[in-house]
Chains A and B, each alone.
Chain A
């Protein structure tokens, strides 16, 4: 759609402390647009999990969010290691995160399942050694 509103973010892969800043900003922007609170919550939780994944599994990447008349689309793109087995990665509890990540509160293996649960559609495009692009949509 021509009148789509778009937001672009670079997600720093070096910095766990700043991880989630893009999602926080998107949440603010969507609030300003006056979208319903439950939609905003679903978008921001899904994006937050994806943003954290880019930082802990893929050295960062980019996030693009567009808002059209009928949906919010989130595209998370990284040049990380890729996901060898998507079906396995989608299972609740599956995680390759290290103990040090786990001690920070992540690595429960619930991120991808949460992202799927909170969005109306989710596509994972991934190639080993090249990177991962995840496209999620929440219908308005």
Chain B
């Protein structure tokens, strides 16, 4: 799925690295606990989270993730945006709640990690 499709499906606002939106991603995970995200080293490219502190970006960096979606209208601060820009990570914000955002992406073909493990 292209990241631009994620934006469209979630009605999300892109916050940085717009130039990477036409890259493809193949799986995603949603969590507010970073160690849960760090558990599955498979190629999850998208992180959906309601958490906004710099550790979200670092977790994505460690996992080589390409995209972070903030749910429930959460907003990263300037420092987080510049960290993500340095790493080329696309960030977007949606008003959707976690369950709805994940469900929408999943039913449109962006699978989770269970299918990989």
List chain A positions with a Cβ less than 8 A from chain B.
16-20, 23-24, 27, 37-38, 41-42, 44-45, 48-49, 52, 102, 104-111, 114, 117-118
**In the complex the two chains form, is B58's CB within 8 Å of A48's CB?**
yes
The 0/1 profile, CB within 8 Å of A marked 1, for residues 23-63 of chain B is 00000000011111011010000000101011110110111
Nearest-neighbor residue (CB-CB) of A42 within chain B:
B41
- Cα–Cα distance between A48 and B63 once the two chains are bound (Å): 11
Q: How far is the CB of B40 from chain A (nearest CB, A)?
A: 10
Give the contact-size bracket for chain B. Answer: 20 to 34
> Is the CB–CB distance between B55 and A52 below 8 Å?
yes
The total of Cβ contacts below 8 Å across the A-B interface reads 72
Beyond the given A49-B38, A108-B36, A110-B38, could you list 6 further A-B residue pairs with CB under 8 A, ordered by the A residue number?
A16-B53, A16-B55, A41-B63, A44-B62, A105-B32, A106-B34
Instruction: Report A134 CB to chain B, min CB distance, Å.
Output: 16
Partner of A105, one of B41, B51, B62, B64: B51
Nearest chain A CB to B8's CB is how many angstroms away? 28
Minimum CB distance partner of B32 in chain A = A105
Interface residues of B in 47-96 (CB under 8 A from A): 49, 51, 53-56, 58-59, 61-64, 79
- Considering only CB atoms, which chain B residue lies closest to A43 in the complex? B62
Residue of B nearest to A48 (CB): B62
The answer to whether A23 and B62 touch (CB under 8 A), given A45-B41, A110-B39, is yes
Residues on A with beta carbons closer than 8 Å to the beta carbon of B79: 17
Min CB distance B57 to A, Å, is 9
Given A110-B36, A110-B39, A114-B39, answer yes or no on A27-B62 (Cβ-Cβ < 8 Å): yes
Tell me whether B33 and A45 are in contact (CB under 8 A): no
Q: How far apart sit A55 and B84, CA to CA, in the bound complex (Å)?
A: 22
A49's partner among B35, B49, B51 (CB-CB below 8 A) is: B35
Is A19 a contact partner of B55 (Cβ separation < 8 A)?
Answer: yes
